Structure 1
Amino acid sequence: MKSIDQNFVGNSIVELFRRSAREHADEVAIVMVEHPDRFADARSLTYRELDAQAQAVAHRLREVCRPEDRALLLYPSGTPFVAAFLGCLYAGVIAIPAPLPQRRRRQQHRLTGIARDAEVSVVLTDSANLAAIDDWVDADEMTHLVRLATDVESAAAPSDEEPYPAGPDTVAFLQYTSGSTGDPKGVILSHGNVLHTIAASLLMSEWHEQLRVCTWLPLFHDMGLIATVLAPLTRGGNTVLLDPMTFIRQPASWLRAMHHYGSNASAAPNFAYEFCTQRISDEDLSDVDLSGVTRVYNAAEAIDEKILSQFCERFSAYGFSPDAFVTSYGLAEATLTVAARLNNGVKLSTVDVPQAGSDHGSRALVSCGPAPYLDLRIIDSATGEAVPDGTTGEIWLRGPSISRGYWRREEQTRETFGAFTESGDGPFLRTGDIGFLHDGELYVCGRVKEVLVVHGQKVFPQDIESELRSRHPQLGNYGAVFALPQTSGQEKVVITHELGEAEPDELPALAADLVHTAASEFGVQVDTIALLPPGTVARTTSGKVRRMKMRDLFVAGKLEPVYARSLKS
């Protein structure tokens, strides 16, 4: 494991941001694009203005809470969120970014669970959403919570107020996991964790320019907050923000904004690149030049080489270079980035992996790159021993960006962050992800809890899902393959998948074809197949399919398929 010079890493987020504010006081720090067709209407803040707003938020926080109290941040994407987050750091208050309460009771219940788990004392929001926050608080009997709209004009902070003296070990914020295989838990992230992952990401992606980022990612998500906001602001760069729904409605707005503002970097999950390829027309990109975009990160979900190749081919006419892609792997418990690989003009690295029951015998995986700044081991979970290169096992990690654990969950912290190898080396973070090393680079195969066992061999559900989509264009973008809990005998495998464009009379034949593909390519005998309406496969906020959630919904009879077939004999 390589170390990083502490002068490059820094001691606290506040220290590095205030240095940026001194050195770039009158330069633009943040831009919020309100209307994607009218960039002239965008709102911007200089470093001086953002620093003043953060100090004003900190002043108000000091009046209602103490250092180390928790503040729930409920904002749409925009400059008020950024000022509020920095204001929490200035006041020594632990920030908890979270999505705004939605109409669905399930989403409100999750938010209430976060507020109670963290014992939040104050909720920060903007004036446009204050009434909705009040309704949620009243409905869930949490009227003791102080609620502040931070975008309302308030007195400037006294000039003698100094930021809370944070250091590398000071808790900066809690990142509540999106819960792809379990209930959301608050990952404790320190200033040192955040700054180390930023520094490591810059080094791994060979970054030497000023960061000018354009993003539509939700700011309550770790990739949105750390990679696209905190990284540039602690390095004297700038960030252009788009609302996530703007991207969904008009994906071309992302690329147009990159061009208009001269952004040189961005980040998104794999699905976003496929979405752009499918939904953006040439007319949408009139006069757009993407040649200045030199780093585009792909993370947060499984990376598909075909999708990246299609994106490069589609947008090369607009100056986009395949050299710009950075493929990476990370997770909240490691703050953000574990491994990363800059494309550097060569074909995306792939390795053939033996596949149970397949006539083709292998599959291609995209390299997520090396992890030089963490101690990464591939471990046989049953024995605690490291496995040879090229052999799959659980990914274990330790190093400066690894969280100290989950907020007030000692037992789960010990189970996840307290692993030791067979020789007694540790403690390590058990990621729950399966992968292997090849030529020093990491390849990620899937989740431990989601792996299917077919005739004694492991089969990864995302491989089945990807193969089904590639062979059957009537399917939509998301599916979930999982096994039902069994006390004995062969696992019972269920395929659930969203439909795309398919006529009702085609569905029986389509279902039969899907069953045949699973059997012929993977040796998987399907027990039940359920074809679903678009938008019904459960996903996390970062777009990952929640296969265990889909299994629970299936078992509880809560799925409403357009077509279903049981193949029980």
Structure 2
Amino acid sequence: MITILTALSRTAKLSPERGFHVIKNGKVTSFLSYASLHESALANASSMRGQVRLNERVGLIFFNELSFIESFFAILFAGGVPVPIAPPQPFSPLHGFFRRVGLIARQSNIHRILVSESISDEVKESLGIHTSSIVQTLDEFCALDESDAVVPLAAPNAISDTALIQYTSGSTSDPKGVVVSQENLILNVAAMCEAFEMNAESAGVTWLPFFHDMGLIGGLLLPVFAGSDSYIMRTADFVKAPLSWLRAISDFSLKISPAPNFAYKYCLERFNADSLSGLNLTSWRSATSGAEPINPKVMRAFAQAFAPYGFSADSIMPLYGMAEATLGATFSAVGAGMQSIYVDREALNKGLVVRTDNDAPGNKEIVSCGKPIRHVEVSIRADNLQFMNTPLLLGEIALKGHSVCSAYDNDQKNTTAMLENGWFLTGDIGFLLEEQLYVVGRSKEVIIINGANYFANDIESYTSEVDGVRGVVAVAQIGSDSEECALLIVPAKGSDPDNLTKIVRRKINDELGIHIASIDIIAAGQLFKTTSGKIDRAKMKSLYNENFSRSAEAVNP
């Protein structure tokens, strides 16, 4: 079996002139061919090998740039294990960055961190008191005096060797380091390549950060395996101008680009026909949506808005995956478009799946995330602790297979908690129908109101449909007899908070039939998110408990 290292060597021979194109403002600003990457990675590994012990964890703090890619493969060829870490985020408090890096460094025993040239001085100075790791740029590392070398060891090439440590986003708890073996990685990448019907001609673009599994594996390692060109945007450029993502697809006639649901919504919010002149999205055949709950209304609205520019609804590809599955677990078929069913919402809140025929009031639409890819099995964990494939059985989604990871780095407690009889327990709730997976929500995000289960993302989805709501998070608060729901809302500029809360209450009552116990208005900076853009529910719960109450500070009816 090949590894990601032998895959790069193969691609450097078969597709030497293809590679990674960094783009900004519609132009390619730098390029790294696969042949050059292979050559530089081997050269840098030769310099590193005297400094890196076999299987030693090496941190990587970079933006989406070519030096990350060169560092990643150099560390692998040198026998080390790369550990991508999120760089400091714009407009975010540095203490969050310090805490995360310190946690990761301690958990994975990281003694050396490679950092981007653009932030090396800032990171070196700021991390000094938060971690004992040596912080260097790639050039500084490779220029070390050979007299300080440890005994060099051969680069790993066995499928059981660790390929990388992928840290989770930490949306409901501290991030955990998923140990991804060479076998996990290559089998998952190969299966996704098959699911995408991907080959050397399947060029794509990504703005997703390389410290995130979808950005790293989907945007970087998948193209290496396929031998296709990959176009890279800075995440900050997408955030500043989301339509530049679509312009890149148009300008370079790209076929594949993955994104979370919020990216499509963000493009809709910034839609401007005057700035889209000449946009042509006919080449985009795989517009994947994953990494967070998929809102069918958003995807349909996106397809409708961009149909005049050549976008086909058939290119929408919902999928399901996570870092613990290496990346992908279930994929929709290429060209099939978004498939969904309607279920009775009241029955769903009681733990039952009852199909209905339409979108009448009281029904909920749930999107299919497709069928399991090769090397992955999906099952549902019912209340009786057995794994079953009975159709329409609602329960916890469990994964198993050769591309599903089996451990967290130096964390036996969480490793034991995540596994049951060889199955990885995802914490997500869903059901299977005709071999397709339907995801309802996360078990840790359930709010139990009057004995019925309501998913926080469901409540947030309806709230976000109200004009004037810029951001929202639903929080469970303890009532007299059961949990109640509180909302923390970021209003759009110019919105009237009192009127906004009244409209939101009426909307949630009409759609879900529940009463919102309290609504608090918060600033945009108080809507904490993880490094991958998900709501940081642990922080939001802490914020609510520390700063808001059900009495004077809450906005009550």
Q: Same fold (TM over 0.5)?
A: yes
Work out the CA distance in 2 between the residues paired with 1:359 and 1:287: 39
Alignment check: 8 A CA contact 2:286 2:334 kept: no
Q: Which residue of 2 aligns with 1:117?
A: 107
Work out the CA distance in 1 between the residues paired with 2:258 and 2:233: 13
How far apart are residue 173 of structure 1 and its match? 0.7
Matches for 1:376-415 after TM superposition, within 5 Å? 376-381=378-383, 383-384=385-386, 386=388, 388-415=390-417
Deviations 1:355-376 (A, max 9, x none): 3599922110111011153221
Q: Which residue of 2 aligns with 1:461?
A: 456
Which amino acid is 1:451 matched to? V
Q: Which of these residues, 255, 259, 265, is aligned with residue 268 of structure 1?
A: 259
How far apart are residue 20 of structure 1 and its match? 0.2
Work out the CA distance in 2 between the residues paired with 1:328 and 1:413: 25
Deviations 1:85-123 (A, max 9, x none): 111111120100011245521221111111121111211
Matches for 1:280-359 after TM superposition, within 5 Å? 280-342=271-333, 344-345=335-336, 348-355=339-346, 356=349
Q: Which of these residues, 221, 239, 249, is aligned with residue 230 of structure 1?
A: 221
3-state secondary structure, aligned to 2:185:
helix
Work out the CA distance in 2 between the residues paired with 1:165 and 1:383: 39
Alignment check: 8 A CA contact 1:126 1:151 kept: no
Q: Say whether residues 1:509 and 2:504 are aligned partners.
A: no
Work out the CA distance in 1 between the residues paired with 2:449 and 2:321: 28
Q: Say whether residues 1:183 and 2:174 are aligned partners.
A: yes
Q: Which residue of 2 aligns with 1:553?
A: 543
Which amino acid is 2:95 matched to? R
Alignment check: 8 A CA contact 2:338 2:368 kept: no
What TM-score results when the alignment is normalised by the length of structure 2?
0.90
Which amino acid is 2:475 matched to? F
Work out the CA distance in 2 between the residues paired with 1:393 and 1:244: 35
What TM-score results when the alignment is normalised by the length of structure 1?
0.88
Work out the CA distance in 2 between the residues paired with 1:530 and 1:286: 41
Q: Which residue of 2 aligns with 1:98?
A: 85
3-state secondary structure, aligned to 2:317:
strand
Q: Which of these residues, 440, 444, 454, is aligned with residue 439 of structure 2?
A: 444
Shifted more, 184-193 versus 52-61: the winner is: 52-61
Work out the CA distance in 2 between the residues paired with 1:148 and 1:64: 14
Matches for 1:144-223 after TM superposition, within 5 Å? 145=134, 147-150=136-139, 164-207=155-198, 210-223=201-214
Work out the CA distance in 2 between the residues paired with 1:328 and 1:141: 37
Alignment check: 8 A CA contact 1:177 1:184 kept: yes
Deviations 1:53-76 (A, max 9, x none): 212331232132211111100111
Work out the CA distance in 2 between the residues paired with 1:522 and 1:387: 29
Q: Say whether residues 1:86 and 2:73 are aligned partners.
A: yes
Alignment check: 8 A CA contact 1:379 1:394 kept: yes
Alignment check: 8 A CA contact 1:359 1:521 kept: no
Q: Which residue of 2 aligns with 1:475?
A: 469
Work out the CA distance in 1 between the residues paired with 2:503 and 2:135: 56
Shifted more, 351-360 versus 434-443: the winner is: 351-360
Q: Say whether residues 1:489 and 2:481 are aligned partners.
A: yes
How far apart are residue 380 of structure 1 and its match? 1.6
Q: Which residue of 2 aligns with 1:371?
A: 372
Which amino acid is 1:276 matched to? C
Deviations 1:126-163 (A, max 9, x none): 33322122112323252x525233499969x9xxx997
3-state secondary structure, aligned to 2:332:
strand
Deviations 1:400-447 (A, max 9, x none): 111121111112101112x1xxxxxx2210100000112221111111
Gaps of 5+ in 2: 147-151, 351-358
Deviations 1:494-532 (A, max 9, x none): 1112212443xx322321332333334324332221122
Deviations 1:258-284 (A, max 9, x none): 222232111111111111122142333
Structure 1 pair 222/347, CA: closer, same or farther in 2 (3 Å)? closer
3-state secondary structure, aligned to 2:180:
strand
Query: Aligned residues, how many?
Result: 534
Which amino acid is 2:545 matched to? V
Work out the CA distance in 2 between the residues paired with 1:53 and 1:283: 44
